[in-house]
Structure 1
């Protein structure tokens, strides 16, 4: 059954108004008809089971049959601070991070990042990345679309992460796997978690010190060196397994 996302203001009693690009997708791409059933989320943990009541040119009206608490989301909000990678790697990272339960993706301009985005290029990238996040959220039955934020400088990202309960920084010079397992085991459901991932060249030593001063815990991901597009997904997979209820 297809899933769509709406704003809370589009939910009116037993009717939900679907607007924007989803109207064209429902009518002309999926070629759905009145009476067909769909699932709708308005950004909370409620899932609306509906059938299509009316297909208009600018909106689709869906009639709510029943509402249920889906429970698809992790108990903890996980924030991925991803150092800007080369090429299209960010698209894969966002897609898989959303599937694994990330709450927000924050692109970070680090000292060793090769990619530099100017204003217009950044706006286009963010739109593209947000569309990928929405598509992945629909596919993986997420209850809302994780936000892809605008690019932050490393200092801004560290300041943003100060509000989180736990901040993890996978670092190639970290060696103690027992300590890493202990850190992961101590994370409690409901705590907010930040993950800092460096670009292809890794973190600058000053960036590591800056994160450590803020309270980030350096962890190891094993004896093998992982690519930037692999490291964050590895941590997310471990956290998903540890926190899934």
Structure 2
């Protein structure tokens, strides 16, 4: 069933859908009065609705039922992602939102090639579309890019701070996941070209778990998906 997010201010006796979704409902999906759809308030509440009226500016829906969205992981998973070149960041956002990330923080490090700061609104839109497609109860936040130093300081606030590093040979991801019950997990993935050795050592000295993801070196756009998937599997999130 088609799914849309609305602000809580647009939910009352009826639900009002506005913005780009109006055109999508009427012109792309060709929905009509009486058709059913799902609306989420972005705070884990889903509403099963029927369309009452479609105008050029809004879609008015009646509420058939309300229930809690159960798709959200029981722990927060925040991805600190070194910004890659081209459209790769868009792929990272799309797939990590589908898998279950709570928040994405792009960062710029020593080896970051792409330093564009002007794509944040597009990244947010991609996160919203991925949240719709995957049945999420929230729209994961995509923050404005930060420095590597800022990312590390934020990472230290988490129950389980993890940094994936291709030069690490001894500590595996599974080693730091097992036997823990974290509620807030931070993951840092370097950009194309990886992290500088000094950056990885700085993180290690500050208490971040620096891990290898195995025998093969993964692309930056692949690594975050692998780590998040393993976390969700290990903790049954």
Deviations 1:123-171 (A, max 9, x none): 3x11211111111111111112111111101111122223221111111
Task: State the partner residue of 1:183.
Answer: 176
- Contact 1:83 1:108 (C-alpha < 8 Å) held by counterparts: yes
* 1:100-127 CA-partner distances (Å, limit 9, x unpaired): 100111111010111122xxxx23x112
| Worse overlay, 95-104 or 43-52 | 43-52
Give 2:10's aligned residue.
10
Of residues 126-135 and 94-103 in structure 1, the stretch that sits farther from structure 2 once superposed is: 126-135
Measure, in 1, the Cα distance between the counterparts of 2:17 and 2:203: 43
**What is the Cα-based RMSD across aligned positions, in Å?**
1.5
Name which of structure 1's ranges 152-161 and 99-108 shifts more when overlaid on structure 2: 152-161
Q: Distance in 2 between matches of 1:60 and 1:214?
A: 51
Q: Which residue does 1:49 correspond to in 2?
A: 48
Q: How high is the TM-score relative to the length of structure 2?
A: 0.95
Matches within 5 A, 1:126-145: 126-145=120-139
**TM-score, structure 1 length as denominator?**
0.92
Verify: 1:206 aligned to 2:205, yes or no: no
Are 1:74 and 1:243, in contact at CA under 8 Å, matched by a contact in 2? no
Unaligned ranges ≥5, structure 2: none
**Higher deviation after alignment, 61-70 or 210-219:** 210-219
The 3-state SS of whatever aligns with 2:214 is coil
Matches of 1:52 and 1:244, distance apart in 2: 36
Please say if residues 44 and 143 of structure 1, whose CA atoms lie closer than 8 Å, have aligned partners that are also in contact: yes
1:147 lines up with 2:141 in the alignment: yes
The number of equivalent residue pairs is 237
List gaps (5 residues or longer) in structure 1.
Answer: none
Please list the CA deviations of residues 70-128 of structure 1 after superposition, one character each: whole Å capped at 9, or x if unmatched: 210111111111111112111111111011100111111010111122xxxx23x1121
Q: What per-residue deviation string (whole Å, max 9, x for no partner) do you get for residues 209-241 of structure 1? A: 332233210111111111111111110110121
Question: Alignment partner of 2:121: what SS?
Answer: helix
Corresponding residue of 1:220: 212
Structure 2 equivalent of residue 171 of structure 1 = 165
